[in-house]
Amino acid sequence: MKKFQEMLMKDLGWKLLSIGIAIIMWFMVININQPVDTRTYTKYITLQSMDVLTNRGLTVENAEELTATKVSIKIKAQRTALDRLNQSNDWLLASVDLSGLVSAMDGDTVSLPVEVEMTGGYTGYTIVGKAPTTVSVHIERTTSKELPITVAVNGELPADVLYSAPVLSAENVLVRGPVSQVEKVATVRADVNAQDVGDNVQLSAKLIPYDLEGAPVRGVDLGIEEITVSYQALNAKTIPIKVNISGVPAEGYELGETACTPQTIEVIGASEALENFIYLQLPDIDITGRTSDVDRSFAVADYLPEGVQIKDGYSPTILVNVQIQSANSREITVDSQHLTILEGESGKSYETSGSATVMLTGDEEMLQSIDESDITGTVDVSGLPVGQHKALITLDLPEGITAGYGYIDVIVTEDIAASDNES
C-alpha cells in the first residue's frame, strides 16, 4: 500500500499536466470532427405537374387537404450542419408528383408517394425517414359557374347618414374547381366593416364563397380574389305626385275627385340628383267616354330620374283613382268620430281626426234623404307605419247609392304603455 502511494505521488505535477493536456485535446477533436446527429423537420406538401390533369379538364378534389398536410422528415448530419438547417429549412422540399396520372379519370383515387429532397446542391445530409410516405389523391372533373357578388356589412351603419347601395368594382365572379365543390357554392360574399364606410371611400374586400348553410366552401378558385366597395352619402327629399286627366266622360257623367295614394313619396339621392327633382309626374289618365271610375297603378321606380331611389319603407307603387260620377250627385262630409278602425296592429295606437269629403252618386231622391250625421263607416289602417297618413274610408250606404273615394287623417304611434307592460 505504501509502495502504491509512493508511485501515485511520484511526479504528481507531470501527471496532472498530462491529464489537462488530454482534456484539451479531446475538446479540440470534438470541435474539429462533429458527431453525427438525427433531427426531425416538418414541411407542407407541394403538388407538382398539376397541368397533367388540368389540361384534360380534371383536378385534384382534395388538393387543399393535401397541401395542408405536414410531412415529418428525419435528417442525419453533423450537428453544425443541422444547426444551419434549423435556421432555414427552405432547403427541404416535400412534394407529390402528378406527372404519372396521364390516364387518370374522373372519380379515380390514386395512392402516390411523398417525395422528399434537399434542394440547392447541399451535401452532407442524409434523409433517413419520412411520414406519411404516401397520400391518396382524388381525381375529379372541373367545372365553373358565374355568380353575383353580394356585400355584407359587419355592424350598423350610422343612423343619421343615408348611403346608396354599394358600388362594386365587379358585379359577378367566376367560381371554378371540382364539380362537387363548385356545386356547393351558393353565394360569393364581400364583407366590409360598418365603421370603415364613408362617403366615396374605397374599401378593399376579400371574396369568400359560401354554401347554403353559410359555411365557407374550400377547394375552389375565384376569378377575382378581391374587389373594392364604395358607398355614396345621400340626401332625402319629400316629392309630391302629379297626375293629369285628359278627355271627358260619357254624356250624363262628370269628372269627380282624383285620389292619389300616396300623395307624396320620400326619395333619396345625391344632392345634385335631387336639386332639380321638384315633383313626380305620372302619365296622363284618359277618361274619354267613361261611365265608371278609372283605377291605375304606377311603379314608382319607372318615373324616378337617374340616381334617385325611393326610401325604404315607402310603397313602390302609386295608386290613382279618378271618380266618374253621375250628374245626380251630392257631396257630403263625414266626421272622424263616425268611423271605426279596422286591421290595426298590436303595439300601435291609431287616432283619426278631422273629416272626410265624399262624393255620392245615385237616385236624386235618395241622395237628398241622406242625413250626414247618421252615416258611419270604417278605416282600413293595415300596413301603415308610425307617422301621419291619409287612409281610405268605406261608408255604410243605402243600396243604390255609390260613394267615391274619401280619405281621413290617421296618426299612428307606438303603444308605449303596451310595450312597458310586455317588458
Contacts of 17 (CB under 8 A, 6+ apart): none
Residues 194 and 284 placed together within one structural domain of the fold: no
What digits encode the pLDDT tens for the residues 304-361? 988 888 887 778 899 999 988 777 788 889 999 999 998 888 888 999 999 998 888 8
95, 112, 118, 180 from 135: Cα distances, Å: 11, 6, 20, 20
Residue in the structure block whose three cell numbers are 434523409:
127
Q: Which three cell numbers stand for residue 397?
A: 250606404
Q: Which of these three, 285, 306, 327, is where a domain ends?
A: 327
CA distance 280 to 303: 7
Residues 286 and 336 placed together within one structural domain of the fold: no
What digits encode the pLDDT tens for the residues 91-110? 889 999 999 999 999 999 99
Residues 221 and 249 placed together within one structural domain of the fold: no
**CATH code: domain of residue 387:** 2.170.120.30
> Is residue 98 situated within a structural domain?
yes
> Is residue 146 situated within a structural domain?
no
Residues 241 and 275 placed together within one structural domain of the fold: yes
**Phi, psi at residue 41, to the nearest 5°?**
-125, 160
Q: How confident is the model at residue 421 (pLDDT cuts 50, 70, 90)?
A: very low
> Is residue 359 situated within a structural domain?
yes
Residue in the structure block whose three cell numbers are 422540399:
93
CA distance 139 to 132: 20
Q: Which of these three, 327, 351, 382, is where a domain ends?
A: 327
CA distance 76 to 82: 8
Residues 423 and 339 placed together within one structural domain of the fold: yes
Is residue 167 within 8 A of residue 232, CB to CB? The reply is: yes
> Is residue 28 situated within a structural domain?
no
What digits encode the pLDDT tens for the residues 112-166? 999 998 887 677 788 899 999 999 999 999 999 999 999 999 888 776 677 878 8
CA distance 72 to 85: 14
What's the whole-model pTM score? 0.53
Q: Write down the H helix ranges in 270-397.
A: 271-274, 364-369
Residues 223 and 258 placed together within one structural domain of the fold: no
Task: Determine the structural domain holding residue 349 and report its residue range.
Answer: 328-423
State the burial class of residue 344 (Cβ atoms within 10 Å of its Cβ: 0-12, 13-18, 19+).
middle
**CATH code: domain of residue 284:** 2.170.120.40
> Is residue 162 situated within a structural domain?
yes
Report how many domains make up the chain.
4
Residue in the structure block whose three cell numbers are 365557407:
216
pLDDT at residue 3, rounded to an integer: 63
Q: Which of these three, 231, 264, 287, is where a domain ends?
A: 231
Sheet strand arrangement including 253-261: 253-261, 317-326, 294-299
Residues belonging to the chain: 423
Q: How confident is the model at residue 419 (pLDDT cuts 50, 70, 90)?
A: very low
> Is residue 221 situated within a structural domain?
yes
Beta strands at 134-154 and 187-193: parallel, antiparallel or unpaired: parallel
